[in-house]
Chain A
């Protein structure tokens, strides 16, 4: 079993395999389950993701608090009516990431990737890139194994939850995972996937977890949106041959150290950052029907 991204890339290169295949074989080895059982479980996850994307883009989603919902549709509408500036794949990824995260905020069914708070980025980029590249269903499942392999390295060497390491650990990890998977689906090398991870994660370093009223809504939905955008651009940069000066595993280590020194007010306690703004406090008071502190 690989312990970090460098070992993962080395294994893939040595065997002449894609990252997804290395992950599948490691899973077979460690879990003792059959390849068929493992593939079947990931196909099921893919189906749940697809439903969540579709729900977010077509239904009128509204969270219980009323703070989020409807933005995925808004962006799709805009793309149809206006000469938008960024590319269609990028905006599709952004709107689909929003869609899944809006479904999550409304207590709908999603797949945690790696967490529920960051559940929009991996499926959002997957279905948008798939619209462009037209992969097979199996390649779409491979996308999830590649994303999983990177998340596995980050989870075991740093953290993936906002409470433990801030939003950089949550949306940051998801963004890095998606970046690597996009590269593989687009035909890039394992090394280029690793570079995409470094480039993506660097741009998430220091990001705090400051949910307004403690709800996974503000700013989570918009951070998922931008995570999808960063993942897509990082993948393009890596495939252009741009390299991260700081090696990938050292970027992950930096993320870990930053998370350890981050004050608890900024780690999913709703006590700092956006949660502590005047408007954030007003929303909190309104949602829970209590007077302002």
Chain B
């Protein structure tokens, strides 16, 4: 079941006019921002399907940039995001694509500052709910409705067990887990939805595991 909570249906509280094209678009932008971990200097946004056809009318561009600025769906600054981003010196490029995507409301967001980049593909499935289907080329199906631990590591045996061991030691329950890799033996990305927030110490402990390159925790509540 895609929808798990009554608040997916009665909610979110948001600035209008469209839950999929405004609130959902903003949430995809915010996931990209959280994954990037800081304010980018450049944001490249590509809209597909219904997003591409109607983004101006729905303010999907304004909303996506608001998300990239780390604003929530009910943040009244959402309307002024383009000006705020400009004042902060963020360069923004908006493109539309005729490419057919599986879901009608799809956006691709590339955030960068110098050599650091993150690229996210998200779909807005309705009522403000989103799914992230690609992160830096890794395929996923994540909603980020719970705190999610992201671990970039070398594709070696025992990596999942090593991370799970740390979580077990701290009595942290896992709700959902996905691992994705581009090529066998190269880099792989783990996404782990957890039931309780993780402390900085737990994150550091995971970071110390051999072959782990990056660890971050995404939480939106």
Contacts and interface: CB of A to CB of B under 8 A. Distances in A.
A-B complex is real: yes
A216 B16 contact: yes
Given A216-B18, A287-B57, A114 B9 contact: yes
Given A163-B20, A163-B49, A107 B9 contact: no
B10 A155 contact: no
15 contacts: A31-B4, A38-B6, A45-B10, A48-B13, A110-B13, A112-B128, A116-B16, A116-B128, A117-B17, A155-B126, A161-B20, A161-B127, A213-B57, A217-B17, A264-B50
Contacts, number: 179
Interface string A122-159: 10000000000000000000001101110110011001
A271 interface: yes
A115 B53 contact: no
B113 to A, nearest CB: 30
Nearest to B7: A41
B94 interface: no
Interface stretch (A98-106, A195-203, A234-242, A246-254): A98-106
Contacts of A115: 18-20, 126-128
Given A115-B126, A163-B49, A163-B126, A107 B16 contact: yes
Nearest to B10: A148
Contacts of A31: 4-5
A263 B54 CA distance: 16
A66 interface: no
B57 A211 contact: yes
Contact of A163 (B12, B15, B22, B104): B104
A215 interface: yes
Interface in B160-196: 195
B136 to A, nearest CB: 26
A20 B138 CA distance: 41
Query: For the side of the interface on A, what is the size category?
Result: 35 or more
Contacts of B56: 214, 288
A111 interface: yes
Interface string A263-293: 0100111110000000000000001100000
B43 to A, nearest CB: 21
Interface string A13-30: 000000000010011001
Interface in B57-79: 57-59, 74, 76, 78-79
A113 B76 CA distance: 19
A116 B87 CA distance: 29
B91 interface: no
Contacts of A27: 5-6
A164 interface: yes
A112 B11 CA distance: 5
A161 B126 contact: yes
Interface in B18-71: 18-23, 49-50, 53-59
A80 B10 CA distance: 32
A271 B10 contact: no
A28 to B, nearest CB: 11
B33 to A, nearest CB: 21
In the A-B complex, the 9 residue pairs with the smallest Cβ-Cβ separation, listed nearest first, are A161-B126, A214-B54, A214-B57, A104-B16, A151-B9, A148-B6, A216-B17, A112-B19, A116-B19
A44 interface: yes
B10 A151 contact: yes
Of the candidates B17, B23, B79, the one having the most CB atoms from chain A within 10 angstroms of its own CB is: B17
B10 A113 contact: yes
Contact of A271 (B3, B11, B23, B53): B53
Contact of B6 (A109, A119, A149): A149
B125 interface: yes
B180 to A, nearest CB: 25
Given A112-B128, A211-B54, 16 more contacts: A30-B5, A38-B6, A111-B10, A111-B11, A112-B127, A115-B19, A116-B14, A155-B127, A156-B2, A161-B19, A161-B124, A161-B127, A214-B53, A216-B17, A264-B49, A270-B57
